[in-house]
Chain A
């Protein structure tokens, strides 16, 4: 158990819908990262937040957005969902976000039908 929690574990929804994935980092970790893992795209870094502010941005679509709240939990919002958005979404956390170890949550499996 990494100490990072993600909810829900599984999510099934329809095209065009909007969903919110939630992540709670390990106690004391200020950085939160979001990743998408799909069969055709592999593991893709989406975005990083550090202490509430965006620190790094990867291949995150405009239909996706994220934020980190004052209590350091983070949410990833996915809207206008398409079949290709079906993937495993990981959240990770670290203390500083530079060279520190990233601890991954168990992931949220999103299926878009």
Chain B
């Protein structure tokens, strides 16, 4: 079973509009972390935002916010006021604790976002 599911392989958004990229996760670990990364066509991976499972508030970083709905096990990324430079692949990831007490990081398959001028 997929631990991280990104159901939108591709999305379009008009410049200056907001866009939501979906991510659902599956874990039985009560202490986990959720991450979003951006990968432009140049290939580098850029960390965007982090949400801990015990964090009461939704994480925000500039134009990025994470809509964390714990009961629904969803961690959607919201990008406000989209810019052409936001066109990239976006990955949702989860850090969970393994049975041996170490960490494990699992990535979704990504959503390719295209911002239209």
A: residues with CB less than 8 A from B are 2, 33, 35, 42-45, 48, 55-58, 88, 90, 92, 97-99, 101-104, 106-107
Contacts and interface: CB of A to CB of B under 8 A. Distances in A.
For this complex, into which size category does the number of interface residues on chain B fall? Answer: 20 to 34
A101 B36 CA distance: 10
Contacts of B91: 43
Contact of A99 (B33, B37, B107): B33
Contact of B106 (A45, A48, A98): A45
Given A33-B105, A44-B107, A45-B107, A99 B47 contact: no
Chain B at the A interface: mostly helix, strand, loop or mixed?
strand
Given A42-B109, A42-B110, A103 B103 contact: no
Interface in B43-84: 43-47, 50, 52
Contacts of B103: 48, 55-56, 97-98
Contacts of A35: 45
A106 B43 contact: yes
Contacts of B28: none
